[in-house]
């Protein structure tokens, strides 16, 4: 499971980018954290990868 690279900032509505590219040999699993930083307000967000994220990836659901 790979987290999406850009999310909507919950503080200002800007674009928050994934801070690092995960190793393809070690995919994310439920309980891991993905770190993002907003390009506008510079806030950092650490989001936990949930079972739904993993299930969405396995189903091929579109990423937002």
Helix, strand, coil shares of the chain, percent, nearest 5, are 15, 30, 60
57 against 3, higher pLDDT = 3
CA–CA separation, 30 vs 41, rounded Å? 28
Q: pLDDT for 29-44, tens place per residue?
A: 889 999 999 999 999 9
pLDDT in the model for residue 51: 79
Close Cβ partners of 47 (under 8 Å, ≥ 6 residues apart): 3, 7, 33, 34, 35, 36
Please check the confidence at residue 53 and state whether its pLDDT lies above 70.
no
Size (the chain), residues: 64
Please check the confidence at residue 60 and state whether its pLDDT lies above 80.
no
Q: pLDDT for 20-31, tens place per residue?
A: 877 878 888 889
Q: Which domain holds residue 23?
A: 6-59
Provide the number of structural domains found in the chain: 1
Domain-embedded: residue 15: yes
1 against 27, higher pLDDT = 27
Domain-embedded: residue 1: no
């Amino acid at each position: 499971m790979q987290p999406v690279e850009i999310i909507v900032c919950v503080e200002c509505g800007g674009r928050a980018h994934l801070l690092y590219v995960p190793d393809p040999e070690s995919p994310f699993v439920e309980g891991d954290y993905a770190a993002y930083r907003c390009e506008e307000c510079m806030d950092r967000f650490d989001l936990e990868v949930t079972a739904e994220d993993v299930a969405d990836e396995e189903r091929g659901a579109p990423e937002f």
